[in-house]
Amino acid sequence: MKRNPDDRRDNVEKIQYNINHTIENMELAEEMIEKTDDPKTRRDLKKKNERRKDALDGMRNEIQDEAAHQEKL
């Protein structure tokens, strides 16, 4: 079976899309936190946003790596 070559040309765009989407989800969760009276829901949403912040850090590092890779080409 023939393997496809590693095509990284649009990785930066894909990562940026994911970053934007994650930020939107964080903002929506913050709105829900403000509107809800349920402590469990608030706690769960805050934990989820913490995980999203960690993911954003990773995606930002990855986008820098990809941009550096593109400059080498």
Question: Range of 25's domain?
Answer: 11-72
Residue-wise pLDDT tens digits, 19-69: 999 999 999 999 999 999 999 999 999 999 999 999 999 999 999 998 888
CA distance 43 to 71: 42
Say if 55 falls within a structural domain.
yes
Say if 46 falls within a structural domain.
yes
Q: How many CB atoms are located within 10 Å of the residue 56 CB?
A: 15
Can you read off the two tokens belonging to residue 56? 């954003």
Of the CA atoms within 13 Å of residue 8, those in its CB half-sphere come to 13
pTM beyond 0.85: no
19 and 52 in contact (C-beta within 8 Å)?
no
CA distance 17 to 5: 23
What pLDDT score does 1 carry? 65
What pLDDT score does 3 carry? 74
Position 2 pLDDT exceeds 80:
no
What pLDDT score does 46 carry? 98
Say if 3 falls within a structural domain.
no
Total structural domains in the chain?
1
Say if 68 falls within a structural domain.
yes
